[in-house]
């Protein structure tokens, strides 16, 4: 049994066969392997790391996962700069090129369809974050350590009243946030070839403060992207109190799905 295997990052079309400039997983050389009309972007990986058992264990290691995810993403992004790109799911590994070719043959029509759909288009990410409302003195998460003082100073009833007001304010802010999220999505989806709503990100992972009221992915034609960003600017100007975070152009990760399974 050979010790190395073939890791496939993405399928593309019309690339120049041979090595690519970008480096792959753990710095491996990345090459383009053509089969039929499809270009597979691949590199060697070690079976001691990507074999069934080690892979299962490695996926549970956040630092290993982060490295591989970033390497994978870097290659896919590089491919998306030069051709239509259908990213493959992380850790798609074949024992050799023959195995990979057999699978490409099996899925050739569906893969062609995906490439047709994403050609000339890229993915954009738009997140809207509502900053935390300033909490009245004595209530709110930031004031937890002073709660005792506030209670002693202002009396229990007063404290409870303010706490209730703060809660009502938070509910109103959440409703407003949800409404804003819907409005943004509606406005942007009209400029996109396709769109997807994603779950709000965890603040501990993303580092944002406040409430993420919208997290959307948009497949935007390359010649539409300026209009898309312009629309986004208008929306941002209309709502100066929220933080609008835009990312792109990215490979169409959220829009690369096979029609038949």
> What are φ and ψ of residue 85, in 5° steps?
-130, 125
Structure tokens at 203: 């603040």
Q: Which residues make beta-bridge pairs with 218?
A: 124, 195
120 vs 134, beta carbon nearer another protein: 120
| Residue position matching structure tokens 């997140």 | 127
178 vs 243, beta carbon nearer another protein: 243
The minimum distance between CB 232 and another protein, in angstroms, equals 6
138 vs 250, beta carbon nearer another protein: 250
The minimum distance between CB 208 and another protein, in angstroms, equals 9
159 vs 253, beta carbon nearer another protein: 253
Q: Which residues make beta-bridge pairs with 123?
A: 219, 250
The minimum distance between CB 156 and another protein, in angstroms, equals 22
How far apart CA 53 and CA 123 sit, in angstroms, is: 34
20 vs 100, beta carbon nearer another protein: 100
The minimum distance between CB 154 and another protein, in angstroms, equals 24
How far apart CA 209 and CA 111 sit, in angstroms, is: 40
The minimum distance between CB 222 and another protein, in angstroms, equals 4
109 vs 172, beta carbon nearer another protein: 109
How far apart CA 232 and CA 58 sit, in angstroms, is: 40
The minimum distance between CB 88 and another protein, in angstroms, equals 5
Q: Residue 23 is inside which H or E element, if any?
A: strand 18-23
Please report, for residues 11, 82, 84, 116, the alpha-carbon distance to residue 14 in angstroms, rounded to integers and kept in the order given. 10, 9, 8, 12
Q: Which of 72, 67, 84 is nearest to 22 (CA)?
A: 72
């Amino acid at each position: 049994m050979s010790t190395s295997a073939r890791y496939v990052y993405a399928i593309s079309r019309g690339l120049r066969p041979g090595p690519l400039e970008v480096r792959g997983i753990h710095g491996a050389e990345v090459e383009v392997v053509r089969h039929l009309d499809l270009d597979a972007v691949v590199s060697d990986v070690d079976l001691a790391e990507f074999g069934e058992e080690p892979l299962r264990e490695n996926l549970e290691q956040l630092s290993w996962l982060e490295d591989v995810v970033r390497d994978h993403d870097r290659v896919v992004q590089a491919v998306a700069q030069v051709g239509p790109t259908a990213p493959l799911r992380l850790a798609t590994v074949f024992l050799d090129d023959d195995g990979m070719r057999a699978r490409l043959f099996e899925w050739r029509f569906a893969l062609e369809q995906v490439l047709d759909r994403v050609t000339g288009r890229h993915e954009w990410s738009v997140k809207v974050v509502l900053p935390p409302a300033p909490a009245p003195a004595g209530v709110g998460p930031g004031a937890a350590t002073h709660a005792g003082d506030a209670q002693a100073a202002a009396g229990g009833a007063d404290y409870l009243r303010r706490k209730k007001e703060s809660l009502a304010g938070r509910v109103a802010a959440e409703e407003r946030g949800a409404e804003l999220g819907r409005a943004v999505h509606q406005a942007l989806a009209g400029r996109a070839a396709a769109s997807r709503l994603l779950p709000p990100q965890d603040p501990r992972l993303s580092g944002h403060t406040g409430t993420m009221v919208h997290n959307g992915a948009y497949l935007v034609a390359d010649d539409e992207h300026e209009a898309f960003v312009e629309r986004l600017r208008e929306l941002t100007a209309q709502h100066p109190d929220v933080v609008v975070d835009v990312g792109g152009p990215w490979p169409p990760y959220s829009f690369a799905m096979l029609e038949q399974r």
